């Protein structure tokens, strides 16, 4: 599932010690209203600690996932993502590090660097009939990323997001 691959890629990008990051506004009410299926997941604080205890997510402070599926192509446009892109491009410390454009797909990864350390990651994965936004706050070492990839944590989070639908 593309969602899991994008989430892992975002996690692997976070390689430094913790720092605080700006909270992003993930407001997609208009998109959610158009979606045939939606999943919205917000984990932070104590709830994240309970779910991820011993599962390689110790550096992650918050996970925010938005996934919208649409019945028809063209139900949303690139302009729907402009407010979120504007937040990160105008905020201090954020940089786009990946921009992949293919025929009907676009993937962008932004990282926030504060105090010389990566403190957050934003992944936008847009397909013709599906949009996924993943915002991770915190850090993950390469060893933790490997442990996470080898565990069932991503599948559990994906399943949890699917259960929200």
Instruction: Tell me how far apart the alpha carbons of residues 119 and 22 are, in angstroms, rounded to a whole number.
Output: 9
Burial string for 152-165 (b: 16+ CB within 10 Å, else e) reads ebbeebbeebeeee
What's the confidence (pLDDT) of residue 13? 46
Give the pLDDT band of residue 151 (cuts 50, 70, 90): low
Q: What is the pTM of this model?
A: 0.75
Mean pLDDT value across the chain: 76
Give the pLDDT band of residue 117 (cuts 50, 70, 90): confident
Confidence check: pLDDT of 148 > 60: no
What's the confidence (pLDDT) of residue 80? 93
Instruction: Tell me how far apart the alpha carbons of residues 2 and 124 are, in angstroms, rounded to a whole number.
Output: 12
82-91 pLDDT, tens digit per residue, is: 999 999 989 8
């Amino acid at each position: 599932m593309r969602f899991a691959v994008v989430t892992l890629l975002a996690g692997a990008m976070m390689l430094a010690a913790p720092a605080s990051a700006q909270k992003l506004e993930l407001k997609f009410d208009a998109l959610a209203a158009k979606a045939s299926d939606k999943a919205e997941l917000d984990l932070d604080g104590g709830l994240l600690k309970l779910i991820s205890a011993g599962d390689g997510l110790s550096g992650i402070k918050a996970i925010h996932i938005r996934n919208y599926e649409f019945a028809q192509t063209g139900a949303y446009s690139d302009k729907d993502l402009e407010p979120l892109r504007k937040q990160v491009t105008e905020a201090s410390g954020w940089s786009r590090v990946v921009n992949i454009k293919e025929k009907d797909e676009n993937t962008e990864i932004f990282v926030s660097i504060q105090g010389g350390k990566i403190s957050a990651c934003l992944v936008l994965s847009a397909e013709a009939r599906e949009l996924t936004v993943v915002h991770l706050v915190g850090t993950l070492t390469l060893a933790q990323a490997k442990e996470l990839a080898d565990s069932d944590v991503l599948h559990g989070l994906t399943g949890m997001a699917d259960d929200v639908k």
